A and B are shown apart, each in its own frame.
Chain A
Amino acid sequence: GAVVSQHPSRVICKSGTSVKIECRSLDFQATTMFWYRQFPKQSLMLMATSNEGSKATYEQGVEKDKFLINHASLTLSTLTVTSAHPEDSSFYICSAGTSGGGETQYFGPGTRLLVL
């Protein structure tokens, strides 16, 4: 099946620093990649949708200047949390889609971010 990887799996950083998370589709080309955030015992909340080569579309309430998304190729998207604060601590999960339909989204293993 389709495999999506994320790196790093876990990161701890100081408040005010920036953190970059990579999402890669390993055995398929992803036309669309999605970034989610999941707080403990909460559902996954879509942050943004990115199509290769174009600007990401952010969900309401998500600051695009704080959560920078780059989707430079069909196999790689990055999420950079700029000037991270403790309230940004969360589980960040990416998914990759092949046809743009939600039914073909494959999820990465997630990245746990802890901001001290």
Chain B
Amino acid sequence: QKEVEQDPGPLSVPEGAIVSLNCTYSNSAFQYFMWYRQYSRKGPELLMYTYSSGNKEDGRFTAQVDKSSKYISLFIRDSQPSDSATYLCAMTVANQAGTALIFGKGTTLSVSS
């Protein structure tokens, strides 16, 4: 079992839809929970990060963490074609070098106009 599970999709929605992206994890030692957006052939861009259970909102994006269920979500409201990308969840854990980021496989999102 991988430490971080994420459905790769693809997920296709019409413009204006609410998108829900999810990850589950198995390691209780994960500390920070982040969401990255990655366009094709580009490096990941940090969208949001949270530390505790609950919701965190930033514009059209809401990150949700449920530590008891080991489940995190990213909601995108009023989705736009420019949101079409791969969304990666990632979690930090302490390792021998300091802190490591463990990524999910990424979910490919396509928003059609």
Q: Which residues of A contact B (CB under 8 A)?
A: 4, 6, 32, 34, 41-46, 49, 51, 57, 59, 91, 93, 95, 97, 100-103, 105-110, 112
Contacts and interface: CB of A to CB of B under 8 A. Distances in A.
Q: Provide the main secondary structure of the chain A interface.
A: strand
A51 B47 CA distance: 25
Nearest to A32: B98
A51 B88 contact: no
Interface string B90-113: 111101111111111110000000
Interface of B: 4, 6, 8, 31-32, 34, 36, 41-46, 49, 88, 90-93, 95-106
Contacts of B96: 57
A43 B43 contact: no
A51 B44 contact: no
Nearest to A34: B101
A96 to B, nearest CB: 11
A95 B49 CA distance: 16
A101 B43 contact: no
B103 A103 contact: no
B101 A105 contact: yes
Contacts of B31: 102
Contact of A43 (B97, B99, B106): B106
B104 A43 contact: yes
A99 to B, nearest CB: 9
A108 B43 contact: yes
Contacts of B34: 102-103
A32 B97 CA distance: 9
Contact of A107 (B44, B49, B106): B44
B97 A49 contact: yes
Nearest to B91: A102
* Of listed B90, B91, B97, B100, residue having the most chain A CB within 10 A: B97
Nearest to B4: A43
28 contacts: A6-B43, A32-B97, A41-B8, A41-B105, A43-B88, A43-B103, A43-B106, A44-B103, A46-B102, A49-B95, A51-B97, A57-B95, A59-B100, A93-B43, A95-B43, A100-B99, A101-B32, A101-B92, A102-B92, A102-B99, A102-B100, A103-B32, A105-B46, A106-B46, A107-B46, A108-B43, A110-B43, A112-B41
